[in-house]
Amino acid sequence: MKKVNALKISLIAVVFGLLTGFLIIAVTNRNPYNLVVALVRSMAGFNLLKPDKPINVLYILNWFLETMPIILTGLSVAFAFRTGLFNIGGEGQYMLGCTAAAYVALFVKAPFPLHPILCILAGLIAGGIWGFIPGILKAFKNIHEVVVCIMLNYIAWYLTSWFVRAYLPINPNTGSSSINFPESAIIPTLNFGTSSQFNYGIIVVVIALVIFHVVIEKTTFGYSLRATGLNFEAARYAGMKTKFNICSSMFISGAFSGIAGAVTILGVYHYGRTFQGFDGYGFDGISVALVGASNGIGILFSGLLFGLLKTTSNNLQLFNIPKEVGELIQGAIIFVVAAQYIIIYLEEKLSKKKGEFK
């Protein structure tokens, strides 16, 4: 699909999602203007209801903090998309990244800043290996990657919880999480004196965005991956290593989700976790990749959008509006993007009719 069409569809989807939110709030006898207040407060830290109060930077930093992991998982899904694959296993890869980073944080002695770098590399490798499994099964046995990824998500959930309890020193006060990481392994906060946990992991996110764009758009390897995704048989006939491309793509895709887990555990939690359920970042990455048209710049903006909607959902509760309204807005946006070809078809039909009347 052309980039112009992709941008148009994304903009239509965002407008439709916001209108859906306004409508739902109005139908439930609440003030739709409060959605605007919550959005502005989450995005700019400015309270429209109390304009005399200064801007609260905390809200802006929390928005960026929420955005960081979903941009990384969005890159994960998009990288696979560009090779004609659907990596729905980002959640499991994220969990493996968290646990691998926690293990290195607790058992490897290194000074700062080398220590967090080693932890992130461990998360990258763990997530990459977890993504490589469906990749190799797809390449050599033609087993659909979606089915394998879904099963691996649940295996990762139970595997990481078992691993933390079995191999990490457990905090006696919780009984379900590890002791705190040493200071040398923690990614420092960048909170400008606020209570936000926004941290220097943003540097890792920026580097990941640059690497994604350069590899996919500017290298022969990226061209080979895209060619494999566009037409597997034609790429194979042209002499490209299609099986290698599939395996490599899924490894790199999983690596991005693994990095998301490592950055989150080192910058926010500071201890090894046993997961009570899915955090949802891997699934959010699917939405980010779809709305961002699997393009690096698009993923940056769609990640910021979905991060904004997540933080807005929390602020909506201050106005007695259920936070699920934010999730409904996200669902409406995804619905329009998923139905993009119907919109393009209708637009073409209308254009033809206009041409007939002229």
In the prediction, which pLDDT does 320 show? 81
Other Cβ atoms less than 10 A from the Cβ of 1: the count is 10
At 342 the three-state DSSP class reads helix
| Residues whose CB is less than 8 angstroms from the CB of residue 176 and which lie 6 or more positions away in sequence, other chains included | 165, 170, 274
Q: Report the distance separating Cα 65 and Cα 282, nearest Å.
A: 16
User: Residue 317: what pLDDT?
Assistant: 81
CB atoms within 10 A of CB 244: 13
d(Cα 41, Cα 325) in Å, to the nearest integer?
A: 16
pLDDT of the residue at 12: 83
With the CA atoms of 160, 152, 276 and 330 taken in that order, what torsion angle do they form, in degrees rounded to the nearest 10? 130
What's the CA dihedral at 213, 294, 95, 141 to 10 degrees? -100
**pLDDT score at 30:** 86
Overall residue count recorded for the chain in this entry = 358
Cα 63 to Cα 313: distance, rounded to the nearest angstrom: 11
Element (H, E) at 136: helix 114-141
199 by DSSP, 3-state: which? strand
Instruction: Note the pLDDT of residue 293.
Output: 85
Phi, psi of 226 (to 5 degrees): -65, -40
- Please state, in angstroms and rounded to a whole number, the distance separating the CA atoms of residues 125 and 121: 6
Orientation of helix 296-316 relative to helix 324-338, angle to 10°: 150
Can you say how many angstroms the Cα of residue 65 is from the centroid of all Cα atoms in its chain?
12
Tell me the pLDDT of the chain (358 aa) as tens digits: 555 566 777 788 888 888 998 998 888 888 888 888 888 988 988 888 888 888 889 999 999 999 999 999 999 999 999 989 999 999 999 999 999 999 999 999 999 999 999 999 999 999 999 999 999 999 999 999 999 999 999 999 999 999 999 999 999 988 889 999 999 999 999 988 888 999 999 999 999 999 999 999 999 999 999 998 888 888 888 888 999 999 999 999 999 999 999 999 999 999 999 998 899 899 899 989 988 888 899 999 999 999 998 888 888 887 888 888 888 888 888 888 877 766 666 666 676 665 555 5
